[in-house]
């Protein structure tokens, strides 16, 4: 008998058709997230779960006695209780690679928008405030030929570096857990210790995964090291930044501007002071949000799940859940 799968998010028809070829399945057909109670009911007899950002906790796993594999339609997996999954020998997979260029495009959009004050000045024009002869009141900062510091030189970091180096003539510096000799050679990137990178970069892009070590990795001390003309961009996870410290840095002009696709609490609350600051560009966590990329991510996630349930090694097993880890 085919294994039973639950699809916890709407997926494209071709993805659903692929799963149907290999599995029995039920699905959540609504765009609102499924409740914990409903998910518990669906997982009572499911062997596989296809999700996208939903919390997979020890409590949830206790209600899923037959579950063998969980596949997320995302790169990040900080929503997985890895210890609980490992204790139950549950395979976990994600979708790295397919979204790299799409996210890198968005990061560059944030860099440009924050540096040249695009959203701020868009509102300025639309509100009828534009007058002749305003001169340096409308100045931004250049992007081309500046120094870019990348914290977390993974696939997306390298895609950003490629755009910066060969499209904008930027000088690339990076900080990473491990040196990347190939990136250093191909992208003329220079490894720097974190404090050194923060002091010398004109643009700082944070692209680290969220782990206990990276939570609030960038806070008051780190912002104090940055140039007053620096632009800070976060497209990793909101919890990697101390938001209160970021708010103060922007209010006090410790740094020039920021571009954010992620926040400590999502969806961001209207009372969040970052939303009232003119020198920050705020987006609703849309790094991979194009139809083509999201459809490809859903198919990769489905292929991972089917492979796991068929006893194969999926292409994208989460490192901490590999059998040899």
Per-residue pLDDT reduced to its tens digit, 111-138:
999 999 999 999 999 999 998 878 899 9
- Check residue 135 and give its pLDDT: 81
What CATH number labels 4-96+291-321?
3.40.50.720
Q: Look up residue 122 and give its two tokens.
A: 């868009």
Q: Which positions are annotated as active-site residues?
A: 237, 266, 285
Looking at domain 100-282, which CATH architecture does it have?
3-Layer(aba) Sandwich (3.40)
Instruction: Give per-residue pLDDT as tens, 263-304.
Output: 999 999 999 999 999 999 999 999 999 999 999 999 999 999
- Check residue 133 and give its pLDDT: 78
Query: What does the pLDDT average to over 83-88?
Result: 96
Q: Which residues contact 284 (CB under 8 A, 6 or more apart)?
A: 261, 266, 267, 268
CB 62 within 8 A of CB 83: no
Which DSSP string corresponds to 120-147? HHHHHHHTT---TT-GGGG-----TT-E
Query: What does the pLDDT average to over 176-185?
Result: 96
- Check residue 324 and give its pLDDT: 62
> Quick one: angle between helices 100-115 and 155-168, nearest 10?
50
Q: Which residues contact 13 (CB under 8 A, 6 or more apart)?
A: none
Domain locations in the chain as residue ranges:
4-96+291-321, 100-282
Is this model's pTM higher than 0.85 or not?
yes
Give the 3-state secondary structure of 245-286.
HHHHHHHCCCCCEEEECCCCCCCCCCCCHHHHCCCEEECCCC
- Check residue 132 and give its pLDDT: 84
Whether 50 shows a pLDDT value over 60: the answer reads: yes
203 bridge partner residues: 148, 231
H or E element at residue 191: strand 190-191
Q: Look up residue 116 and give its two tokens.
A: 């040249």
Query: What does the pLDDT average to over 47-55?
Result: 94
- Check residue 108 and give its pLDDT: 98
3-state secondary structure of 5: strand
- Check residue 322 and give its pLDDT: 82
Q: Which residues contact 83 (CB under 8 A, 6 or more apart)?
A: 58
Query: What does the pLDDT average to over 226-247?
Result: 98
> Are 4-96+291-321 and 100-282 in the same CATH fold?
yes
- Check residue 110 and give its pLDDT: 98
Whether 325 shows a pLDDT value over 70: the answer reads: no
Q: What is the average pLDDT value for the chain, to the nearest integer?
A: 96
Q: Which residues contact 216 (CB under 8 A, 6 or more apart)?
A: 239, 240, 241, 242
% the chain with pLDDT above 70: 99
The separation between the first and the last C-alpha atoms of the chain, rounded to the nearest angstrom, is 31
pLDDT category, 85, cuts 50, 70, 90?
very high
Q: Look up residue 237 and give its two tokens.
A: 């996870």
pLDDT category, 31, cuts 50, 70, 90?
confident
pLDDT category, 105, cuts 50, 70, 90?
very high
24 bridge partner residues: 4
Q: How many CB atoms are located within 10 Å of the residue 70 CB?
A: 31
The single residue listed with the structure tokens 């004109």 is 202
């Amino acid at each position: 008998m085919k294994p039973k799968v639950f699809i916890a998010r709407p997926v494209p028809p071709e993805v659903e058709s692929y799963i149907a070829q290999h599995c029995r399945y039920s699905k959540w057909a609504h765009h609102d997230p499924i409740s914990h109670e409903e998910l518990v009911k669906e997982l009572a007899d499911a062997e596989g779960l296809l999700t996208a950002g939903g919390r997979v906790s020890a409590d949830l796993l206790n209600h899923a006695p037959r579950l063998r594999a969980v596949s997320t339609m995302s790169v990040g997996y900080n929503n997985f209780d890895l210890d609980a999954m490992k204790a139950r020998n549950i395979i976990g997979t994600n979708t790295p690679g397919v979204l790299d260029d799409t996210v890198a495009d968005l990061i560059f959009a944030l860099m440009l928008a924050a540096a040249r004050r695009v959203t701020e000045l868009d509102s300025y024009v639309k509100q009828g405030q534009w007058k002749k002869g305003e001169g340096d009141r409308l100045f931004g900062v250049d992007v081309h030929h500046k120094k870019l510091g990348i914290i977390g030189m993974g696939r997306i970091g390298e895609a950003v570096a490629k755009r910066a180096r060969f499209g904008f003539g930027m000088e690339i510096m990076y900080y990473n857990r491990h040196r990347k000799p190939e990136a250093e050679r191909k992208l003329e990137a220079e490894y720097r210790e974190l404090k050194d990178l923060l002091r010398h970069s004109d643009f700082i892009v944070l692209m680290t995964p969220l782990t206990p070590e990276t939570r609030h990795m960038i806070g008051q001390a780190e912002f104090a090291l940055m140039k007053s003309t620096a632009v800070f961009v976060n497209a990793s996870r909101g919890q990697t930044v101390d938001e209160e410290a970021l708010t103060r840095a922007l209010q006090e002009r410790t740094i020039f501007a920021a571009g954010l696709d992620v926040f400590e609490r999502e969806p961001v609350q209207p009372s969040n002071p970052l939303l009232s600051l003119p020198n920050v560009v705020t987006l609703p966590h849309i790094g991979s949000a194009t139809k083509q990329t999201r459809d490809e991510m859903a198919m990769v996630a489905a292929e991972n799940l089917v492979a796991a349930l068929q006893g194969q090694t999926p292409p994208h097993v989460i490192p901490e859940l590999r059998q040899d880890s």
